[in-house]
Structure 1
Amino acid sequence: MKLPEPSLLIHFLQTGGWVLQALLGLCCILLILLLERYWFRWLEFTKLKQQTLFDIEQHSNNLAWLSAYCQLDLKLQSHLPLIRILIALCPLLGLLGTVTGMIQVFDGLALNQGANPQLMASGIAKATLPTMAGMAIAVFGLIFYTHLQRWSTHERIALSQQTGADEYL
C-alpha cells in the first residue's frame, strides 16, 4: 500500500480550510486517547487487576479493600467520556465547515453576478470535504470506542462479581 505524498495531504487540508485543520487536530487527540486506552488494556490492566485482587484478599475483613476496587474501576473508565465527546464533535465540526464553505460559494456567485456551473460544482465539492472528514473520523472513533466500552463494562461486571463489591455499591 502506497502512502499519499505529503503535498497531497497539505493540499487536501488547504482545500477544506480551517475546519479541516481543526478536524485533523481533533483526530490526533482522539487517536492518542484511543491508543492510551488500548495500551492500558493490553499492558497495564492485568497487572493492576492482580494487584487489586491481592489487596482485596489482604483487607477482606474491613472495607479498606473497597478503595482499591474503586481505583481500578475508575482506571477502567478513564478517558472514555472524553473519547465519546470528541466522536460527537467531529460530524458537527464537519457540518460547520460545509456551512461556511457554502457561504463562500454563494458569496463568490454573488460577486461574479452569474452562475458558472463549474465554479459552483468546485465550490460545493470543497465545502463538503469537512463533512466527509468529520463523518469518517467519527465512524472510525466509534468503532474503537464501542469495543473499548464493551470490554470495560465486561471487566467491571466481572470484577464486581469476583470481589463481591456489588453488595456495597
Structure 2
Amino acid sequence: MLRLEELWYQILAFVDMGGPVLWAIMLLLFLMWLMILERLWYFFFSFPALKKTIMREWEEREDTTSWFAKRIKESRISEAKIKLRSGLGFLEALVAISPLMGLFGTVYGMLEVFDIMAIAGTSNARAMAGGVSKATIPTMAGMVSALSGVFFTTYFKHKATVEAEKLEDMMQSH
C-alpha cells in the first residue's frame, strides 16, 4: 500500500511528465468534482426537504383550484426547477473547458518538441520523447476529466427534469 508521501511524489512525477498545464487541469477537475458533490448532496438531502415543505404548504391550502392557486403552484414548481438546475451551467462549462485545456497542453508540449529539435537536431528521438509526453499526457488528462463530468451532467439534467415533473404531479387539486 502506498504511503501518502509516495503518492504525492508519484503525482508530482506525473505532472512533470505532462507539463505545467496539468496543474490547471487538476484545478478544473477539483472544481468539477466539488460541483458534482454539491449537486449530489442537494439532490439526495436538501431537495427532499424542500419538496416536503412545498407539499406541506400546498396541502394546507384550502383553495387549490382557482386561477390564483394555479399560479402559486406554477411559481413553486418554477422555483424548484431553478434550484434543481442551479450550477449545472457552470458544471457544463467546466466539462467543456477540460478537453480544451488538454489541447492547450498538447500545443505547449509540441512547442517543447520543436524547441528540442531546433537545439539538438531532428534525429534525436530520446531528446524529443519528453516533449512528446508533455504533448500527449495533458490531452489524455483533459479528456478523462471531461468524461467524468459528462456522466454526472447528463444525470443531473435528467434528475432535475424528473424531480420537477414528480413535484408537479404530486401537487394535485383537492
What TM-score comes out, normalization by structure 2 length?
0.85
Aligned to 1:116: 124
- What SS is found at the alignment partner of 1:84? helix
Unaligned runs of 5+ in 2: none
1:54 aligned residue (56, 65, 71): 56
d(CA) in 1 for partners of 2:16 and 2:121?
26
2:89 aligned residue (62, 81, 84): 81
Unaligned runs of 5+ in 1: 165-169
In the alignment of these two chains, the number of paired residues is 164
d(CA) in 1 for partners of 2:35 and 2:83?
13
The amino acid of 1:85's aligned partner reads A
d(CA) in 1 for partners of 2:76 and 2:145?
36
Aligned to 1:21: 23
Shift of 1:77: 0.6
d(CA) in 2 for partners of 1:148 and 1:66?
22
d(CA) in 1 for partners of 2:90 and 2:139?
21
- What SS is found at the alignment partner of 2:75? helix
Aligned to 1:167: none
What TM-score comes out, normalization by structure 1 length?
0.87
Identify which of structures 1 and 2 has the higher relative contact order when contacts are C-alpha pairs closer than 8 Å and 6+ apart: 2
Shift of 1:17: 2.3
Moved over 4 A (4+): 1-4
| Percent identity between the two aligned chains | 34
d(CA) in 2 for partners of 1:107 and 1:73?
52
Shift of 1:32: 0.4
- What SS is found at the alignment partner of 2:123? coil
The amino acid of 1:75's aligned partner reads K
